[in-house]
Amino acid sequence: MDALIETGAAAIAKRAPRELDALVAISSPSGDVGGAEEAIALCVALLPEQAQVQRVPCSTHGSAADLVATVSGSGSGRMMLLGHVDTVIAHDSHAPLRRDGDRLYGPGTADMKGGVVLSLGLARELAKRPECFEELAVVLVTDEEWRTSPFVHAPRFAGYDSCLCFEAGQLTSAGDEAVIVRRKAAGTLRVRAAGRAAHSGSAPDQGRNALLGLAATALELSGHHDPGGPQHLSVVPTVMRSGDAFNVVPAAGELLFDMRADRLDAFDAVLSAVPANVNGVALEASMERHWPGMDAIDTTRPLLQRASTRLGRPIIGAARGGASDASHFAATVPITIDGLGPRGGGAHTPQEFVLEPAIEKRAQVALAVALEVLDMNS
């Protein structure tokens, strides 16, 4: 292993548990401005001291401003380290970091406060080598977990050479270190129903039941679910809301689907399959999230081979179905690599955790990849 990787990763790992403890202690569910501001303030304190800090408008209206911090160097090449500070865990389910053996449990540990801590540590290590880059940027957004509006930051960084994103890491089935170089496109389909209210006891047939219309639509559209097909399309009903009282035929409601596929255009057939009317209930469908996929397998393969040599063990480019902000940069940033965060599990659940011993190993992976990218652009 390259000596610079070994010493740098050890320095990152030494600080990481305390920094993760502090960041997890801040409850920062998507949309909570106060929590986001507190989390961003802590991250600013953990940046390289020479970093220039900007707060820029978030993609989602009403959210706390995003963070863009830059370090200027004397070399060539521009690299971005990308992450988010928001979680899906609400305030009433929040809990502090808890250690159980090798596991560090807490809201957002894997998705992705552990990755944020690792990225900040990497930024501090790279900032010691300003001759290796022209500009190093740390970008932390506050709305990744619930954004449905267009992503605003891609144009600003279109001239960058690389984007390294720190969603949770993983191992291959053979036990090798993996990073994410391919992700599916993601879409959110919303179906709104308009029926007619009626007393559910004395006059049920005078109503038009929005709930039944939505239920029929959920079953109908689920027939398009084909993860083993040519587009690897998944169509999953996730939320249905209808009705306000137990004794009234529900007159309105909505149904949400989470969809994933290799390409965004795979969602068109599902959208067009929503009927205009089901048993007198009018339906209106709209796509509320369009996240592109990414496929950097070919462009990153030689880089990962060289980084593996530098690390002394294999780094494998892998695929993952979950969405990530890295996908928004993949079309314009030549080298886009995700999944550089620590390994863990239970994302989006009360049992979310990272593996403490994996922090140093994943810091080594991130350093190997980052140093190889910088050498490539020097």
Per-residue pLDDT of 238-259, as tens digits, reads 999 999 999 999 999 999 999 9
pLDDT value, residue 289: 87
Q: What's the residue count for the chain?
A: 378
pTM: 0.90
**Domain coordinates in residue numbering, the chain:** 3-184+293-377, 186-291
The CATH number of 186-291 is 3.30.70.360
Average pLDDT, the chain: 96
Distance of CA 259 to the CA centre of its chain: 15
Q: What is the DSSP string of 5-44?
A: HHHHHHHHHHHHHHHHHHHHTS--BTT-HHHHHHHHHHHH
Does residue 322 surpass a pLDDT of 90? no
Residue 232 has pLDDT above 80, yes or no: yes
Q: How would residue 376 be classed by pLDDT, with cut points 50, 70 and 90?
A: confident
Q: Residue 87 pairs with which residues in a beta bridge?
A: 29
pLDDT the model gives residue 148: 87
* Maximal CA-CA distance, the chain: 80
State how far the Cα of 142 lies from the Cα of 87, in Å rounded to an integer.
9
Phi, psi of 36 (to 5 degrees): -65, -40
Neighbouring-strand partners of residue 54: 68
- Residue showing tokens 């930051």: 153
CA distance 259 to 269: 12
The pLDDT tens digits of the residues spanning 100-149 come to 999 999 999 999 999 999 999 999 999 999 999 999 999 999 999 989 89
3-state DSSP call for residue 83?
A: strand
Q: What is the pLDDT of residues 166-183, one digit of tens each?
A: 999 999 999 999 999 999
pLDDT in tens, 268-318: 999 999 999 999 999 999 998 889 999 999 999 999 999 999 999 999 999
DSSP 3-state of 319: strand
Distances (CA, A) of 137 to 48, 122, 202, 270, 302: 11, 11, 65, 39, 24
Q: Give phi and psi for 284, each to the nearest 5.
A: -130, 125
pLDDT at 377 over 90: no
What is the gyration radius of the CA atoms in the chain, in angstroms? 23
DSSP 250: -
Reduced DSSP (H G I as helix, E B as strand, rest coil) percent helix, strand, coil of the chain, to 5: 35, 30, 35
Element counts in the chain: helices (H) and strands (E)? 8, 19
CATH number of 3-184+293-377: 3.40.630.10
